[in-house]
Amino acid sequence: MDVQTKSRSTPSGPSSRSETRRSPAASFLVLLLVNAMWAFQFSGAKIVTERLGPISTALIPLALSTLLFAPFLRVGRKKGTGNRFTGRLLVGLLLIGTLGIVPAQLGLTWGVEHTLASNASVITLTIPVLTAVMASMLLQEKMTGLRWLSFGLAICGVLIVSEQDLRSADIFRSGYLAGNLLIFASCLGSAYNNTYSKKLLEVLSPLELLVASFLVSDIALAILMLIFERSAPARLASLGLSAWLSLLAIAVFSLSISMMLYFWVIERIDVMQASLSIYLLPFFGVLFSSLLLHEQITLQLLAGGALVFAATFLITVLEERQKRGPRRSERSPGPVTEGAAPNGD
């Protein structure tokens, strides 16, 4: 679905494009931070899921995020005139909320209850590939030689980091089929959200998109909670401080700040480029487990992480610098021949 952007009045010349795509190193560093925040969600959600159901575990952080950031909408409004909330935009928000965010969050919290954690870790490795496919279909982005190389390096790195998960995974066992399908639905939802949000950012600011899409998801998950988890309100009242702090941290960092930073990045680079950085998630996940549980940081973890870092650097910093070269040469004036007469009559 295309989103109408008639109200936009930004220039589309070379100078505006170079302004939008400036600082590829900043995009690289921001993506590192985004994935570190996303990695925390796995451990944080596990603490809460043991006390709440999967639907309320997905709903509460989203609802907290909506309530916390909605008051800043006036400040974070995208500049422009006219009524931006057209029928097409509202349908787009409905789609990204129900087909993107809800399955991404609910599929994960529900799926881990019905499959092995190692199965979930392996299946989530499909997110960058699914995102690249959707970016090609929905945004007409294309794979380049450098992107193929970067994806190859990243996959090698993530296989090294996730070797133990791969060995202990039992994906094709029939007893885990439902959980595996829920995890894969979560991956599809994440890929759709990561991709289609770029279209909506043509009309909305990152903050507006965050609050509006989360509001749609809140309503959908609240309806599901009232149907399938009627005891959730009573369980919420009995939650301890540590559980509420985990929910708040997920809401602020893993869902809100991380997504606004991700939106900031995909306004500057292609979704396909940003998606490769998701292979940093296993590295940060193992790293956080090692630090929090005082486990040894292995050479295998560092080697695999280094490959994924290198791949992310190649597809963000190096590719954007290569794009700038042709732009500069196109804009630079050619040599002026002394005494040359202008064309024309």
Average pLDDT on 291-298 reads: 70
Confidence bin at 185 (pLDDT 50/70/90): very high
Average pLDDT on 240-252 reads: 86
Structure tokens given for 233: 């309100």
pLDDT in tens, 141-164: 999 999 999 999 999 999 998 888
Confidence bin at 169 (pLDDT 50/70/90): confident
| pLDDT(290) > 80 | no
Least confident segment among 35-44, 194-203, 210-219, 295-304: 35-44
pLDDT at 335: 52
Max alpha carbon distance in the chain (Å)? 87
pLDDT in tens, 66-75: 999 999 998 8
**Helices 145-161 and 319-331 meet at what angle, rounded to 10?**
160
Neighbours of 260 (CB within 10 A): 18
| pLDDT(11) > 90 | no
Confidence bin at 116 (pLDDT 50/70/90): confident
Looking at per-residue pLDDT, the higher value among 6 and 85 belongs to: 85
| pLDDT(275) > 70 | yes
pLDDT at 115: 87
pLDDT at 286: 77
Q: What percent of the chain has pLDDT over 70?
A: 83
pTM for this prediction: 0.82
CA separation for the pair 90, 69 (Å, rounded): 20
pLDDT at 339: 47
pLDDT in tens, 323-344: 876 555 555 555 554 444 445 4
pLDDT at 9: 40
Contact indicator for 131, 272 with CB cutoff of 8 Å: yes
Judged by DSSP in three states, 179 sits in helix
Q: Name the burial class of residue 213, with classes exposed (0-12), middle (13-18) and buried (19+) by CB atoms within 10 angstroms of its CB.
A: buried
Helices (H), 86-126: 87-95, 102-111, 117-123
